[in-house]
């Protein structure tokens, strides 16, 4: 389980270095629905037992390093075919069908002592006939407390998401999760209005007032067990080195659909970024090119074509694979390429035409882009 332990420990130490002692990770959802536009590479996979082991390892390692961990999104967002940023997804499975799979990673997280669990803005109408999303379903949250035995913090997913607000007055969107069993309300659209709504509800309903007091006390107990976060950022050279090593190991086993190409003599990089024009802009896509330039590696016309293809789950993206513009570029360029580096889900390899080898790099985060640059440089010498 080192593949989960090391990243978890690194993430925890880096978070503490930034002044953060509560990390909203790991994702405990199963990667079950190929049409799901928001989970994908955020999940450890589709096998309940394998994911459960990874989640439990991640939780233990992160909390041993001093942060509070948070398993999300209970009871599972992986079966949904829609994005809860935009709608309330509905899953047509009852508790009996789900029990052998989706909740299992959360059960293992609880056994590992996870401090908090985040709810899903997903409806399970064959489990809770009210069709309320889990965030405000007393039936589903009671199962978390009673059947799974969780007595830690229950936090909502972001309340600014449409899945949390759909069809509800603003006050009810704030108070309903608390009434159902949530302790903390994450990212409401208007914080001051949310506080006012809670004040009004507590003034009218003693049960709400009691829930607020109990949740605040639970929150304070959780903070007391968390590590002390730094007030000024301090870099952790050990964490940085371990993170780079994880990225290198991912790439060492990341070549698919062919053998390592001969890149000696130079390459010609082509960047295909499916998300660069998105409403919510992604991070940079040119770190590989910058690293190659710093190393004075030949990159340009006449070299072997290497495509860097970026596509990842993003809020409100509304689809899983490459968009029309990206597909058009890949249709033209990929068949003659020597290598395609895919910063995305392995399922998307089937959308890359031709037979060029594909190096799976998973995500655009700088760590992976720097590792890809190293991988290319080693094969250009």
Q: 360 and 253 share a domain?
A: yes
In the DSSP assignment, the letter for residue 145 is: I
The string of pLDDT tens digits covering residues 220-234 is: 999 888 877 766 777
**Half-sphere exposure of 82 toward its Cβ, with a 13 Å CA cutoff?**
15
Of 225, 251, 275, at which residue does a domain stop? Answer: 225
Q: 241 and 218 share a domain?
A: no
Q: Helix axis angle, 170-180 relative to 191-204, nearest 10°?
A: 60
Q: Which of 29, 31, 73, 85 is catalytic?
A: 85
The string of pLDDT tens digits covering residues 301-351 is: 788 999 999 999 999 998 999 999 999 999 999 999 999 999 999 999 999
157 is catalytic: yes
**How many domains does the chain contain in total?**
2
The string of pLDDT tens digits covering residues 354-381 is: 999 999 999 999 999 999 999 999 999 8
pLDDT of 285 > 70? The answer is: yes
In the DSSP assignment, the letter for residue 201 is: H
Largest Cα separation within the chain, whole Å, is 75
Lowest mean pLDDT among 109-113, 117-121, 218-222: 218-222
Lowest mean pLDDT among 49-58, 152-161, 261-270: 261-270
Q: 215 and 352 share a domain?
A: no
Give CA–CA dist 123/50, Å, rounded.
25
Residues 6+ apart with CB under 8 A from 331: 353
Does 231 reside within a domain? Answer: no
Query: What was the pLDDT predicted at 231?
Result: 67
- What is the pLDDT confidence band of residue 286, given thresholds at 50, 70 and 90? very high
- Residue 323, φ and ψ in degrees, nearest 5: -80, 175
Q: 200 and 334 share a domain?
A: no
Query: What was the pLDDT predicted at 178?
Result: 97
In the DSSP assignment, the letter for residue 184 is: B
Of the candidates 16, 115, 3, 38, the one whose C-alpha atom is nearest the C-alpha of residue 69 is 115
Does 333 reside within a domain? Answer: yes
Does 232 reside within a domain? Answer: no
**Mean per-residue pLDDT for 187-198?**
96
Q: 241 and 206 share a domain?
A: no
Does 209 reside within a domain? Answer: yes
Edge-first strand listing for the sheet containing 255-256? 255-256, 358-360, 339-343, 304-310, 267-273
Name the 3-class secondary structure at 343.
strand
**Cα-based distances in Å from 15 to 97, 218, 361:** 37, 22, 23
pLDDT of 77 > 80? The answer is: yes
What percent of the chain is predicted at pLDDT more than 70? 98
Question: In this predicted model, which residue has the larger pLDDT, 226 or 75?
Answer: 75
Lowest mean pLDDT among 49-63, 110-124, 250-264: 250-264
Residues 6+ apart with CB under 8 A from 351: 321, 322, 327, 330
85 is catalytic: yes
Does 230 reside within a domain? Answer: no
Of 200, 225, 250, at which residue does a domain stop? Answer: 225
What residue has token string 């190096």?
A: 359
**Mean per-residue pLDDT for 19-36?**
96
pLDDT of 217 > 90? The answer is: yes
Q: Which of 157, 183, 275, 291 is catalytic?
A: 157
Range of the domain at 39: 2-225
Distance in angstroms between the alpha carbons of the first and the last residue of the chain: 34
pLDDT of 1 > 60? The answer is: no
- How is residue 101 written in tokens? 């799979």
């Amino acid at each position: 389980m080192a593949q989960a332990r090391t990243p978890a420990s690194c993430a925890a130490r880096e978070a503490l270095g930034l002044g953060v002692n509560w990390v909203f990770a790991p994702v405990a959802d199963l990667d079950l629905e190929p049409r799901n536009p928001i989970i994908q590479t955020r999940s450890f996979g589709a096998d309940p037992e394998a994911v459960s082991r990874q989640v439990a390892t991640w939780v233990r390692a992160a909390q041993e390093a001093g942060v509070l961990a948070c398993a999300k999104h209970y009871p599972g967002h992986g079966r949904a075919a829609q994005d809860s940023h935009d709608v309330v997804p509905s899953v047509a499975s009852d508790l009996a069908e789900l029990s052998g799979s989706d909740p299992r990673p959360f059960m293992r997280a609880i056994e590992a002592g996870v401090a908090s669990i985040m709810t899903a803005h997903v409806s399970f109408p064959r489990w809770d006939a009210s069709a309320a999303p889990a965030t405000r379903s007393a039936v589903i949250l009671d199962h978390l407390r009673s059947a799974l035995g969780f007595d830690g913090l229950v936090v909502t997913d972001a309340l600014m998401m449409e899945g949390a607000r759909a069809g509800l007055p603003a006050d009810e969107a704030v108070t309903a999760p608390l009434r159902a069993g949530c302790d903390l309300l994450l990212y409401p659209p208007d914080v001051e209005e949310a506080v006012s709504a809670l004040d009004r509800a507590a003034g009218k309903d003693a049960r709400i007032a009691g829930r607020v007091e109990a949740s605040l006390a639970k929150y304070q107990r959780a903070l007391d067990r968390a590590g002390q976060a730094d007030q000024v950022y301090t870099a952790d050279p050990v964490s940085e080195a371990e993170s780079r090593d994880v990225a290198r190991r991912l790439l060492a086993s990341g070549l698919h659909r062919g053998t390592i190409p001969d890149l000696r003599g130079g390459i010609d990089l082509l960047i295909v970024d499916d998300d660069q024009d998105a409403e919510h802009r992604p991070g940079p896509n040119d770190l590989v090119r910058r690293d190659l330039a710093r190393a004075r590696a030949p990159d340009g016309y006449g070299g072997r074509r290497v495509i860097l293809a970026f596509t990842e789950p993003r809020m409100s993206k509304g689809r899983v694979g490459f968009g029309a513009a990206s597909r058009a570029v890949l249709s033209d360029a990929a068949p003659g390429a020597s290598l395609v580096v895919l910063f995305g889900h392995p399922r998307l390899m089937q959308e890359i035409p031709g037979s060029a080898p594909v190096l799976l790099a998973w995500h655009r985060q700088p760590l992976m882009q720097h590792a890809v640059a190293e991988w290319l440089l080693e094969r250009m010498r």
